[in-house]
Amino acid sequence: MTFEDLTIALPAPKPVVLSEAALFLDLDGTLAPIAARPQDVRPDARRTRLVEQLNAALDGRLAVVSGRTLADVDRILEGRVTSVAAVHGLVRREPDGTVHESAPHPDLPLAAERFRDFAARDSGFIVEEKGLSVALHYRLAKPHAAAARRLADEIAEQTGLTLQHGDMVEELRTPGPTKGDSVMSFLSQAPFRGFQPVFVGDDATDEHGFQAVQQAGGVGVLVGASRESAATFRLLGVEEVLDWLEAAL
């Protein structure tokens, strides 16, 4: 049996026992459907109500761990979640509202300029600057995917920026804390400390989170298509995630 076979066979998780859990949720592809353009993801009444109810039921043991900026997370979730790790862990807002932010890598402006120059070849490209990272989205420019990956690899090698391959996106980020590091930081403090961590995510960037909760005695839930993963359970998509979370309330 191959690793792929094992991944496909991952079972769906039982409803989480909120009285025992600390919950860490990715946003895009987990709580919200992937959109062709990042700005197209907007607040949703069902999602906002759900995270508000979960946060209350968990006594604050809910954190969103996302590649988006902090401002974008707050926009999409309408400010209902205090504990947030943004830009893949480079920005972290603690349960008391304190914000920690890494210093930006000096070559980010150069990387952004090269992405913009490259993107001029096709109007489907989107260059997203996040302060501590820059992303080149090519969901609407798929014929150029291989060239986009080559460019990102080249810039990363030349600058020392950390390259993260995502779902139709290449992102160059300031080296520093990951999603997993943020999870461990949250788990070291109240109200998360002492509870079983559950991390739910869909992308390769969420593997750090799966590994962190596994080390802490918790579980990871992979969302979407099967792939090699440290997660132990699997849900098929965003609707299944929302249904699963609502079943716990």
Contact (Cβ atoms closer than 8 angstroms) between residue 117 and residue 125: no
Q: Look up 40 and say whether it is catalytic.
A: no
Q: CA-to-CA distance for 158 and 218, rounded, in angstroms?
A: 38
Instruction: Tell me the CB-side half-sphere exposure of residue 54, using CA atoms within 13 A.
Output: 31
Which of 240, 215, 237 has the alpha carbon at shortest distance from 226? 237
Length of the chain, in residues: 249
37: left (phi over 0), alpha (psi -120 to 50) or beta: beta
CA 184 – CA 247 distance, rounded (Å): 26
Q: Give the span between the Cα atoms of 249 and 49, in whole angstroms.
A: 12
H/E element, 159: helix 145-159
Q: Pick the catalytic residue: 5, 26, 96, 107? A: 26
Position 96, amino acid: D
Q: Which two tokens stand for residue 179?
A: 């999603």
- 3-class SS of residue 125: coil
| Residues with a known catalytic role | 26
